[in-house]
Chain A
Amino acid sequence: MARFIRWYGSHPLHLLVLICSFALTAYAMVRLFAVRPLAVAVWFVGAAIVHDLILLPLYSLADLTAPAVLRHRTTRVPRLPWTNFLRVPAFLSGVLLLVWFPLIFARSAPYSGATGLSQSVYLGRWLAITGVLFGASAGAFAWKLRRVRRAARADEHRPAPGHDAAP
């Protein structure tokens, strides 16, 4: 047993479970790849590659570089961290686009003929939702900024504690 674990790297049960899983995978894969195997394989592997090596790096890069690109140039104190006021609406609008882009960009050829409905409404709706999300975020930011500024101004007018005690 110890020798097996040293060779394999885990408990025999681990191997057994994986073998069962691979057997089911193989059984289903034979059927999945029965027609147009190359194209299906491209889709299957491509799905992971497009997400892991394209989509995720792209949105991470956008998230990382946004603060530098959109530098907050004001020198007035106090400053307010604004990243999330951009990040959250961008994320929300982004997931809507990711899920519904075929309709938003009217890419579905059979849609109108099949359903008797127009595809042209979706782009406007998505833009409107996006506008509302960013607008609400901007409103929340402005409100918070005002509160922080007011608090800062109140601090300025109040003499700092220990002021009189200075030599």
Chain B
Amino acid sequence: MGDDGRPPASRASGGPKPPADEGHARERLRRARATTAALIERAAAGVRAVARRVGQTPPPPGPFRPEFWRSPIRGPWLTSVFGLVLLIGIPLIFITGMLSYAAYNPDLGPLNDQTPDKGVLGFYLFDWPTHPYWLYRLTQGVHVTLGVTLVPVLLAKLWSVIPKLFEWPPVRTVAHGLERLSLLILVGGVIFEFVTGIFNVQLFYVFPGSFYTLHFYGAWVFIAAFVVHAGIRLGRMRRALRSRSLAGELRTDLAHTRPEPPDPDGLVPTAPQAPTMTRRGAVGMVGAGSLLLLVVTAGQSIGGRLRESALLAPHNRVPGSGPNGFQINKTAAAVGVTSAHIGRDWRLHVLGRGPALVFTREQLLVMRHHNAALPIACVEGWSTPDQRWSGLRLTDLAALAGLPNASSVLVESVQPPGPYSSVVLRGNQIHDPRSLLALRVNGADLSIDHGYPARVIVPANPGVNNTKWVHRLTFRT
């Protein structure tokens, strides 16, 4: 580094001779470089020496010593079983999560997009379809229910590798240090994602900021570390899974439970306790935990009689009874919609080409109505059974507004400004014959909490994009 690497040709090129001052400066620069190089070399040697010394010092007492960890069933096979389940489950959760973002049609503008700074992270976005009409109900139901169900597996996986957190020396090589940094992001990221998601579905908004922002960007932070971790450990996982037969483990009772052979990762204890549980028991207990969570959760998404079995899920009951007795995302009172907004003075404004059309509810009721049986499916993972909606087709309203080929519509609610008080729908959503401005449901007028006097209902649309208490539709080409 001390050597000046510039080609000598520059001097021979016949340019103006450098003044004497410049020669001095160059000499000084050369000396400074040499000094810096020496300093760096000395510092590097110092770091190496410290690293060597740390590596040679015995680990501090407690969890840094291998004999601290005594569970006889901890080992690469058990870790790999949990790892395999997560290797299948986490990508499914990630993909359904990405789909959920696409389902909001964020490219239609800031009203639909809570993360407008996404940049390249929105590379995969596509026009969200309206077929099949239960698409969002399925993808988001899987996203939330699978997330909840995998909590015990995640806990077990983290338990099985906890000795690695206290590895000694903490950093052996540059590669090791970088990998551990990546693992820190992995563990922080996965818990962050699970916690924000699980809190959000319970409307427990204690996290710092918008759920959408935190959960979306957090997912990318997590998945970056997840892919690396899965890639680096895949071979080790496969070897570990092959090292013992699953059938054999399922037959092994407590009396025959032995620790796995010592492994280079140090998961197998050097001083194991007598076992109190078999590996089969541990896997079974974790599986039972997942099954139990599935039973007390899935019904809020699947619906039917299973809804009653979803004992702990947020939307496991029906608010009220009658034709409007199905789950509500936000009641009128919760978002500040009062009778002043939706009383006799309420009008529907339809804008497109030409002057605005204004309708009273009575006028809308005598127009030609169509029916559609569609569910409401929420980002929170719950959904209603199909409800029989009745109202005006959005595509007919677009034609009335003079834009039969409208490519988008801005839907505005009377509700005070806030997230999703207005949204934009895409052309394919407008022109699906099942997309309605609904006035009635299940043979009765909409209740106030379900969006009286009029609400949008579009197949496969995320719940919040089915705007309630609509008062203005602005069609655009």
Q: Which residue of B162, B188, B317, B330 contacts A56 across the interface (Cβ within 8 Å)?
A: B162
CB of A8 within 8 A of CB of B115, answer: no
The answer to whether B202 touches A31 (Cβ under 8 A) is no
Interface status of A15 (Cβ within 8 A of chain B) = yes
- CB atoms of A44 and B217 under 8 A apart: no
Residue of B nearest to A129 (CB): B311
A50 to chain B, nearest CB (A): 8
Given A18-B228, A47-B191, A81-B254, answer yes or no on A114-B185 (Cβ-Cβ < 8 Å): no
Which of A33-41, A71-79, A147-155, A157-165 faces chain B? A33-41
A116 within 8 A of partner (CB) = yes
Contacts of A8 in B (CB 8 A): 173-175
Contact of A69 with B by CB under 8 A: no
Chain A residue at minimal CB-CB distance from B191: A47
- Chain A residues lying within 8 Å of B159, measured Cβ to Cβ, are 56, 60
Q: Is A87 an interface residue (CB 8 A)?
A: yes
Q: CA of A22 to CA of B185 in the docked complex: distance in angstroms?
A: 10
A56-B166 Cα distance, complex, nearest whole Å: 13
Q: Is A166 an interface residue (CB 8 A)?
A: no
Between B117, B120, B218, the greatest number of chain A beta carbons within 10 A of the residue's beta carbon is seen for B218
- Given the complex, which residues of B lie within 8 Å of A14, measured CB to CB? 175, 179, 232
**Closest residue on chain B to residue A128 by CB atoms:** B311
Taking a contact as CB atoms closer than 8 A, the residue among B214, B288, B314, B449 that contacts A92 in the complex is B288
B14 close to chain A: CB less than 8 A: no
Contact digits for B104-139, partner A, Cβ 8 Å, 1 yes 0 no: 000000000001011111000000000000000000
**Knowing A8-B174, A110-B203, A115-B331 touch, does A96 contact B209 (C-beta < 8 A)?**
no
Q: Which residue of chain A has its CB nearest to the CB of B187? A: A48
Knowing A99-B198, A110-B334, say if A48 contacts B184 (CB, 8 Å): yes
Q: Mark B224-265, 1 if CB is under 8 A from A, else 0.
A: 110110011000000000000000000000100000000000
- Compute how far the CA of A110 lies from the CA of B199 in the bound complex, rounded to whole angstroms: 12
The minimal Cβ–Cβ distance linking B147 to chain A, given in whole angstroms, is 10
Return the chain B residue nearest A98 by Cβ. B151
Complex: chain B residue closest to A50, CB-CB: B191
A9 touches B311 (CB 8 A): no
Task: Decide yes or no: A51 and B187 within 8 Å by CB, A29-B217, A111-B202 being known contacts.
Answer: yes
Q: Are B182 and A21 in contact (CB under 8 A)?
A: yes
CB distance from A36 to the nearest CB of B (A): 5
Judged by a CB distance under 8 angstroms, whether A43 is at the interface is yes
Show 5 residue pairs from A and B whose CB-CB distance is below 8 angstroms, ordered by the A residue.
A17-B231, A21-B224, A43-B214, A48-B184, A52-B162
Known: A31-B121, A81-B276, A104-B312. 19 other contacts (CB 8 A): A9-B174, A21-B224, A31-B118, A34-B117, A40-B208, A43-B214, A48-B188, A56-B159, A84-B276, A95-B289, A99-B151, A99-B293, A100-B312, A108-B203, A114-B329, A116-B331, A117-B317, A117-B319, A129-B312
The 10 A-B pairs at the shortest CB distance, nearest first, are namely A9-B173, A39-B208, A10-B175, A28-B220, A9-B175, A102-B204, A116-B319, A47-B191, A32-B217, A24-B224
- A-side residues, CB < 8 A to B, are 7-10, 14-15, 17-18, 21-22, 24-25, 27-29, 31-32, 34-36, 39-40, 42-45, 47-48, 50-52, 56, 60, 67, 81, 83-84, 87-88, 91-92, 95-96, 98-100, 102-104, 107-108, 110-111, 113-117, 121-122, 125-126, 129
